[in-house]
Structure 1
């Protein structure tokens, strides 16, 4: 079913900041659609015993159990601009005493310098209001030697997705690499791959994705 511009705009708003019952449904859809990207992003961090992990925009964080199973003595913090997602993530993951979730404004990361050894985020970069400043924030809270992985759908694919014209900023790999380099992070690897998924508008599509991992 082809969505109208109004429906696409509403979907785009929910993808940016899920809210209400509609937001919970979109979050469930995102969990399925983004599962492969999230798993590969987690793998890119090479988690080891004692890592302190920050995830930016975890949605309902139903994948948290998979993260915490990868190594011993992990601690996890998820931050999101959606109050509905913070509440849902807390409810789903209340059994994990080594995990916490914090509501943020999307412009700053409310933690001290060098607090996290590993940082990940998948499909949030389109919504960063001040991209370089936010990349600087990621670098600020990352420990020396720590890794940060940013996963996203590159512009070459996103420009063909109907809802992406509503409030999404599109990026190519080189632009994201430059953001990280300007934040004084060293890009270790830029992975590019593709997959078939059911899109958030209900259509099967082939989409490229990229994961850029950088070190402080």
Structure 2
């Protein structure tokens, strides 16, 4: 089913800031289409018991239980969507070591050098000031802490109809430079291809990129 331009704009808006019942539906869709990438990003962090972990843009947080398996691992999800925060709190009510915080997308309400690990999946397109926000993430991370960013590269994004509405597109080299300029050292860059279900209900190949870095 081909979406109209108005529908594409609405979808792009919901992907950047899910709201209301439609936002909840979009979050479920994102869980399905982004599940493999989310799992790979989490694996790249090598989270250990006792780590304090930050996620930027957890959506409805359906994946959080895979991080909070041990009571000493602290998880904090920061999201700009009140709808997503409420849904994540609901779905993770039994996860006593998981917290979800509403943020403004510019600053993070955490102490300096608080987190050992941090990650985000498919949010970097919406950072209003990428350098400033990367610096804010660095501020709340401990020296030697690990950050992993998962995203769809520009080479694929330019083929996605809704991505022309409000998405800033990146290749691996762009994200590597952004992190290097913020005081990170690149540990690894993974460029892979996965299969996802398209709007036309058919499986298509999609490129994914994961950049993992350590704060100097």
| Residue 175 to residue 201, structure 1, CA distance change in 2 (3 Å) | farther
Specify every segment of 5 or more residues in structure 2 that has no aligned partner in the other structure, as ranges: none
Q: Are the equivalent residues in 2 in contact too, given 1:118–1:148 (CA < 8 A)?
A: yes
Inter-partner Cα distance in structure 2 for 1:200 and 1:121:
24
Per the TM alignment, residue 117 of structure 1 is displaced from its structure 2 partner at its CA by: 0.2
Count of residues in correspondence between the two structures: 215
Q: Are the equivalent residues in 1 in contact too, given 2:68–2:98 (CA < 8 A)?
A: no
Query: 2:148 maps to what in 1?
Result: 149
Per the TM alignment, residue 199 of structure 1 is displaced from its structure 2 partner at its CA by: 3.3
Per the TM alignment, residue 111 of structure 1 is displaced from its structure 2 partner at its CA by: 1.0
Inter-partner Cα distance in structure 1 for 2:174 and 2:199:
25
| Residue 104 to residue 189, structure 1, CA distance change in 2 (3 Å) | same
Query: 2:37 maps to what in 1?
Result: 37
Superposition TM-score, scaled by structure 1 size: 0.97
Inter-partner Cα distance in structure 2 for 1:207 and 1:21:
27
Per the TM alignment, residue 205 of structure 1 is displaced from its structure 2 partner at its CA by: 2.3
What SS is found at the alignment partner of 2:188?
strand
Q: Are the equivalent residues in 2 in contact too, given 1:151–1:211 (CA < 8 A)?
A: yes
Q: Does 1:205 align with 2:204?
A: yes
Per the TM alignment, residue 112 of structure 1 is displaced from its structure 2 partner at its CA by: 1.4
Residues 126-171 of structure 1 show CA distances to partners (whole Å, capped at 9, x for unaligned) of: 0000001011111111111110000000000000000000000000
Query: 2:55 maps to what in 1?
Result: 55
Query: 1:64 maps to what in 2?
Result: 64
What SS is found at the alignment partner of 2:104?
coil
Query: 1:101 maps to what in 2?
Result: 100
Q: How does 1:1-216 map to 2 (within 5 A)?
A: 1-69=1-69, 71=70, 73-199=72-198, 202=201, 204-216=203-215
Superposition TM-score, scaled by structure 2 size: 0.97
CA RMSD of aligned residues (A): 1.1
What SS is found at the alignment partner of 1:107?
coil
